[in-house]
Amino acid sequence: MTPGARVQACIELLAQIAAEAQDSSTVIDAYFRTRRYAGSGDRRAVTHRVYENLRHRARLDWWIQRTGVALDSSPRTRIIAQMAVYERSSPDELARLFSGTRHCPPTLNNREQELAESLYGRPPMHIDMPDWVRLEYPSWMGPSLRTIFGDRLEIELQALSQTAPVDLRVNTLKSTREEVQAMLADDGVEVEPTDLSPLGLRLTGRSRLGGTMAYKRGLFDVQDEGSQLIALLCGVRPGMTVVDYCAGAGGKTLALAAALGDDASSGGGGGDRRPRGRLIACDVSRYRMDRMAPRLKRAGATMVRRQVVTARDDSWVKANHEMADRVLADVPCTGTGAWRRNLDAKWRFQPDDLDHLIEMQRQIVEQAASLVAPGGRLIYATCSLLREENEEQLDWIAENLPGFRVIPVENVWAETIGGAQPGQGRYMRLSPASTGTDGFFCAVLEKSP
C-alpha cells in the first residue's frame, strides 16, 4: 500500500467503526481479510493510526472546533487533524497524500486545506482543554466518574487510555499453570503468572498464540485477569448446578466449566478429569450461543448446555425456578471498564442509553435471581465503572429482592481464591490503575435458605 492508500484505509475503517455496533478490532480484522494485498507492515501502520485516532478523539474534535474552520468532525477531518497535530505532517505533505489518485483520498478542498494549515504545529494538549477533553471521556459521565475516583480521576482515566495487556486463563480441565507456561516458553512465548488470579498468565511481549501447541490443545483461553477473578468468586465446585445467565462469547462460561470439572480427587497435572455437575450458558442471542460451540469443544467443556432465553418472561426461566446453586449475571453495561480494549465504545453511549441499560440490567437480575435455589448465590457483575450500574443497582436489588443479602467480598475471596485481595469492603472494584486489570465490579449475594 502507498502512504496515501494507508491514509484512505484509515478513513474507511474509522467510518465503518462508527457505523457498526462491533468493537474496533473486529472491524479491522474483517477489513483486512478482504484486502489480501495489504502486507503486515501496512496492517500494523493502519491499525496503529486508527487506534491513536480513537484514543485521542476528544482532543481532535476540540482542535477542529478551535480553528474556527466551518468543518464538522468526521473520520476524514479527524485524520487530517491527527496527522497535523500528532504526526506533525505539514500542509504540503497532507496535500500529497490526499492526491485523489488510485487508492488515495480525494484532494483537500479549501476548508480542509485551511484546517491543515491552522493545526500544523499545534501541541496535542492545551491549557484551555476541559478535563473531559484532556482525559478523553464523554462529558456527561464526568460527575459519575468523579464520584467514584475523586482525586484519582486523572490517574484512573490515563490508565484506561493505555494499551491493555494480554492475559490467559489456564484451562484446569486439561493442564496446570506451570505446564502451560513451560509449553508456551518452548514455542517462544514468554508469559508470567498474574498477581491476583491463580489461573492467569500474562504475556510479556508480542506473540502469536494461535499456532502454539498449548492453544491447539485447548490448554488456555484469552481472558483478562479481572474477568477470571469474577468467575473464581462464583465459588463453583464439582456437583453444583450453575447458570451463566449472560454468557455472551463464553469466556466466563469456560472458566466456570473448568471449576465445575476441576475435581482434585481425580488427580492433577493435566490427567483425565471427568466433569461433574451441570452448567447452563444462557443468552438472548442464538448467534452468540452458536459461536460458543467451537470454544467449548476445544476446551473440553462437555458439561455445558446452551440455552437461548428471552429478555423477559422467559418460559425456560419460569420452568427452572430455584434450580441453581450459582447464577452469574454479568449484565450488559456501558463497558467503561474496558475502554482500553474498545476505544470507540466510550463515544457510543448517551445519557438516555444509560437509562435504558439500567432498566435492562434490572430485568435481567430479576430473571436470574429467580433461578437461584435457597442457600444459593447470585453473582452480579459488570465491566463498568459507573455507580449507576454498580452500587446503585445493588441498592435496587436490596429494595426489590429482599431474600438476598450481600456477602462481603473479602469473605468470599478468602473462601474461593485466598491470598492478597484488591481492597476491602462489600464489593470488588477493579481498574487498570489500581489492579492492572480491566475495570470490573462484582458483588456476591446469597439467597435465604
Question: CA dist 354 to 247, 250, 339, 424, Å?
Answer: 21, 24, 16, 28
Listed residue (401, 393, 434, 385) closest to 142, CA to CA? 385
Tell me whether residue 142 is in a domain.
Answer: no
Question: Closest by alpha carbon to 163, among 25, 11, 17, 333?
Answer: 25
Q: How far apart are CA 219 and CA 168, in angstroms?
A: 10
Residues making up the chain, counted from first to last: 449
CATH number of the domain to which 242 belongs: 3.40.50.150
How many structural domains are present in the chain? 2
Strands 241-244 and 220-222: unpaired
Domain span including residue 203: 167-447
286 and 195 co-located in one domain: yes
Q: Are residues 420 and 303 in the same domain?
A: yes
Question: Are 195 and 98 part of one and the same domain?
Answer: no
Is there a domain that residue 10 lies in? yes
pLDDT tens string for the chain (449 positions)? Answer: 999 999 999 999 999 999 887 788 889 999 998 887 888 899 999 999 999 999 999 999 999 999 999 899 999 999 999 999 999 999 999 999 999 998 899 999 999 999 999 999 999 999 999 999 999 999 999 999 999 999 999 999 999 988 899 999 999 999 999 999 999 999 999 999 999 999 999 999 888 898 899 999 999 999 999 999 999 999 999 999 999 999 998 999 999 999 998 544 333 444 444 547 899 999 999 999 999 999 999 999 988 999 999 988 899 999 999 999 999 999 999 999 999 988 888 898 889 999 999 999 999 999 999 999 999 999 999 999 999 999 999 999 999 998 999 999 999 999 999 988 887 789 999 999 999 999 999 999 999 99
Q: Quick one: 31 and 99 in the same domain?
A: yes
153: in domain: no
